[in-house]
Structure 1
Amino acid sequence: MSEPTGAARRRGPFQVGDQVQLTDPKGRHHTFTLEAGKSFHTHKGSFPHDELIGAPEGTVVRTTGNIAYLALRPLLPDYVLSMPRGAAVVYPKDAGQILSMADIFPGARVVEAGVGSGSLSCFLLRAVGDQGMLHSYERRADFAEIAAENVRRYFGGEHPAWQLTVGDLQDNLSDTDVDRVILDMLAPWECLEAVSKALVPGGMLCAYVATTTQLARTVEAIREHGTFNEPTAWETMVRTWHIEGLAVRPDHRMIGHTGFLLTARRLADGVEPPMRRRRPAKGAYGEDYAGWGGKDAAKVASRGAGKDAASDGERDAAPGSGGAA
């Protein structure tokens, strides 16, 4: 049985064409590709690539300036943060959330819109495997070219599960029976009709947006569309810790807000989403509400609120409830 695409480049001794990550005594990283006969140069000396070719990972090499460097293959989170960029990359903390919360499984059929520099594509391809499918859409040809090269470099060649299309998702999406759709774009609400037609019942939509304005508009559009369940939205923040003897404290810097994530499941055809049982806060919607969906969106968002309020009134008036007789 052949190994999954890219697996051979993740284990064993270093070989020509491998990516190598050097770590200096101060924890700084330097990444390069091994080539026979070449040398790695820094302001603190150099050493030949041949010294690493055939050596195991975890080898320590010394430059002509007697500076020790630890040599390892870069992890995928390291790779995506150091690779050439066209657009901003999806940070590893968000990619990890997408893989877990959008339930990306081996063999899944996934559509991705907004490839950027190919960061999330690498994570998704590792998750779906050779037997899955990832069809990525990117509006800008220059971004698509950079992403394609980054993906090829990471996997050591073309990935059999990947297809890349240059163009708008809503104009070009022809995939059917899709399990998951990941939208990393400015206006994901514009794609809901196309996404809804492509997803299987129970399939997952996951959107990655940068601002609260985009988040609110996307959630309201999903509610108004009527083919998804109630969306869930969140963000993640990562803070490392300094640990040195008795000095154990949070680091002064952290990876804070990078973007919001939201997910929603595709309902079966002809099924209306259940009424929301949670009443909106007072003033969230009203006669003068001027959101993107107007009064229709307000009606959808507050559906069932009146019934809940009536139920509360009945409970208050019931004997022994403590309410007015």
Structure 2
Amino acid sequence: MTALGADLRRGPFRAGERVQLTDPKGRLHTIVLAPGKQFHTHRGHLLHDDLIGRPDGSTVTNTTGVEYLALRPLLPDYVMSMPRGAAVVYPKDAGQIITMADVFPGAVVVEAGVGSGALAMSLLRAVGEEGRLWSFERREDFADIAMANVRLFFGTDHPAWTVTVGDLVERLPGTVEDGTVDRVVLDMLAPWECLDVVHAALAPGGLLICYVATTTQLSRVGEAMRAHGGFTEPSAWESLVRGWHLEGLAVRPEHRMHGHTGFLITTRRLADGVTPPLRKRRPAKGAYGSSGEGEADDDGAPDDDPVSTGETAEEEWTAEDLGERVPSAKRVRRVRRAVTQTSAPPSL
């Protein structure tokens, strides 16, 4: 049996497929093949019909003699060029999530929020058709865009994927049975608000990984994980990717790089009734504030820090508070309309 979407990655180009064209200067152009249509630039045009039926990795010449290399876009290419409402998880971070969270074929995974569907594609590839991905998204318009993007990528609705519109804290307990989830991925403003329901859903030894944008979020979710008592000591990191220029003897780092996109933090669910071992390394003086209040006790946690004592702050965080660029409602409506109208699977 052929794996879902494999037919769309092999064979000659077909109408309805996305094709990535590379010009002599290395610039990329992504088009959707359609009989009778043309691809225009200021340096001439080429016919889609000249590509339909050609093998992957072919070249095509436009009306002014400019030669283009035609290839099927890879998953990272598709993610970076697809229509989006919310910001996407960059491929470098998606790869870290799949590997460091050990998302395996057949796994049961919970994801919140779904955004534009970029991470869901990587998760679905990892769990396969025998696994299960439960995605939660508060905004219906973002959920529609994500489902259309994923449908376009796989060529049909993925059988392992279920998208639920609503808040994770409210909807997760009624969606999955306690102790049945292998991995949880949280990409949201305040993941510390979800720790109780995530702990209940995870099987013992299950892993939680959070993707956050700022050090403030990272600190708060890390302290909340420690204070919860049902998780192991968290581990946090970020990845930076720098390309290299390769031309003869001119081998050097690129002037531009993919710098900070977000932090990743992981922890594992402890078995019921297990108390995590005490931290042997005490925090440095001032780690929880410069005043005398909130100094760490013998366990290494501050006495009156609201996160460590399980208290919940009253303020509600917004994307604007964290410096994120929020798409306008008009733009989201336009993207939602465009992508849902073109999400029919390509003809085979």
Judge same fold: TM > 0.5, yes or no: yes
Which whole-Å CA distance do the structure 2 matches of 1:95 and 1:159 have between them?
19
Question: Which residue of structure 2 aligns with residue 39 of structure 1?
Answer: 38
Residue aligned with 1:47, SS: strand
Q: Which amino acid aligns with 2:222?
A: V
Which whole-Å CA distance do the structure 1 matches of 2:302 and 2:139 have between them?
32
Residue aligned with 1:203, SS: strand
Pick closer, same or farther for the CA change 1:294–1:278 going to 2, 3 Å.
closer
Which whole-Å CA distance do the structure 2 matches of 1:130 and 1:299 have between them?
39
**1:212 matched to 2:215:** yes
* Displacement of 1:241: 0.8
Residue aligned with 2:225, SS: helix
Question: Which residue of structure 2 aligns with residue 295 of structure 1?
Answer: 303
Bigger radius of gyration: 1
For the 8 Å contact 1:107–1:129, the answer to whether it is kept is yes
Which whole-Å CA distance do the structure 1 matches of 2:190 and 2:118 have between them?
20
**1:284 matched to 2:270:** no
Match of 2:233 among 216, 230, 233: 230
Q: Which amino acid aligns with 1:175?
A: V
Q: What are the residue-to-residue correspondences of 1:46-61 with 2, within 5 Å?
A: 46-61=45-60
Which whole-Å CA distance do the structure 2 matches of 1:45 and 1:83 have between them?
25
Residue aligned with 1:12, SS: coil
More displaced stretch, 100-109 vs 241-250: 241-250
Which whole-Å CA distance do the structure 2 matches of 1:124 and 1:44 have between them?
40
Q: Which amino acid aligns with 2:234?
A: P
Pick closer, same or farther for the CA change 1:299–1:259 going to 2, 3 Å.
closer
* Displacement of 1:4: 1.3
Residues 173-210 of structure 1 show CA distances to partners (whole Å, capped at 9, x for unaligned) of 03130000000000000000010000000100000000
* Displacement of 1:65: 1.5
Residues 31-58 of structure 1 show CA distances to partners (whole Å, capped at 9, x for unaligned) of 1111222222222222221211111111
Report % sequence identity: 66
More displaced stretch, 281-290 vs 265-274: 281-290
For the 8 Å contact 1:220–1:297, the answer to whether it is kept is no
Q: Which amino acid aligns with 1:52?
A: L
**1:175 matched to 2:176:** yes
Question: Which residue of structure 1 aligns with residue 82 of structure 2?
Answer: 83
**1:263 matched to 2:266:** yes
Which whole-Å CA distance do the structure 2 matches of 1:184 and 1:121 have between them?
11
Identify which of structures 1 and 2 has the higher relative contact order when contacts are C-alpha pairs closer than 8 Å and 6+ apart.
Answer: 2
* Displacement of 1:298: 8.8
Alpha-carbon RMSD: 1.9
**Unaligned stretches of 5+ in structure 2?**
310-348
Question: Which residue of structure 1 aligns with residue 114 of structure 2?
Answer: 115
* Displacement of 1:12: 1.4
Residues 144-185 of structure 1 show CA distances to partners (whole Å, capped at 9, x for unaligned) of 111111101111110111100111100100313000000000
* Displacement of 1:300: 6.1
For the 8 Å contact 1:116–1:143, the answer to whether it is kept is yes
For the 8 Å contact 2:220–2:307, the answer to whether it is kept is no
* Displacement of 1:281: 1.4
The alignment of Structure 1 onto Structure 2 pairs a total of residues equal to: 299
Question: Which residue of structure 2 aligns with residue 25 of structure 1?
Answer: 24
Q: What are the residue-to-residue correspondences of 1:89-100 with 2, within 5 Å?
A: 89-100=88-99
Q: Which amino acid aligns with 1:53?
A: I
Which whole-Å CA distance do the structure 1 matches of 2:86 and 2:266 have between them?
23
Residues 101-133 of structure 1 show CA distances to partners (whole Å, capped at 9, x for unaligned) of 000111110000011111001111111111111
What's the TM-score once normalised by structure 1's chain length? 0.88
Which whole-Å CA distance do the structure 2 matches of 1:285 and 1:214 have between them?
15
Residue aligned with 1:70, SS: strand
For the 8 Å contact 2:223–2:307, the answer to whether it is kept is no
Residue aligned with 1:110, SS: strand
Pick closer, same or farther for the CA change 1:140–1:300 going to 2, 3 Å.
closer
Residue aligned with 1:295, SS: coil
* Displacement of 1:25: 0.8
**Unaligned stretches of 5+ in structure 1?**
302-325
Residues 216-250 of structure 1 show CA distances to partners (whole Å, capped at 9, x for unaligned) of 00000000111110000000000011122221111
Pick closer, same or farther for the CA change 1:72–1:233 going to 2, 3 Å.
same
